[in-house]
């Protein structure tokens, strides 16, 4: 059975590991100060490579990073 993109996205959310090493969820709502600082660092280092920004922030998706920009 082929894997759908929607299923892949759900799997990524389930397997997400937060910065402290504990399993967690990606956040919704307002960005914390630390998330914003990490976002600015990532934007400076990676430009608009949103997947790299997502990895650097670690608590937000690439879509959330794009809309935060």
16-32 pLDDT, tens digit each: 544 444 345 678 889 99
For residue 40, is pLDDT > 50? yes
Q: Are the CB atoms for 6 and 12 separated by under 8 Å?
A: no
Taken in order of first residue, the domains within the chain and their CATH numbers are 30-69 (1.10.10.60)
Alpha carbons within 13 A on the beta-carbon side of 46: 19
Give the per-residue pLDDT at 19. Answer: 47
Query: Mean pLDDT over residues 20-49, rounded?
Result: 84
**For the chain, what percent of residues have pLDDT higher than 90?**
57
Length of the chain, in residues: 69
> DSSP label at 32?
P
Is the model more confident about 40 or about 22? 40
| pTM of the model as a whole | 0.63
Q: What angle do CA 42, 69, 53 make, to 5 degrees?
A: 25
């Amino acid at each position: 059975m082929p894997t759908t993109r929607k299923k892949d996205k759900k799997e990524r959310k389930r397997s997400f590991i937060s910065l402290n090493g504990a399993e967690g969820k990606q956040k919704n709502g307002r960005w914390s100060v630390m998330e914003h600082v990490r976002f600015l660092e990532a934007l400076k280092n990676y430009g608009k490579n949103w997947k790299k920004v997502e990895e650097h922030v670690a608590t937000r998706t690439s879509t959330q990073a794009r809309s935060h920009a």
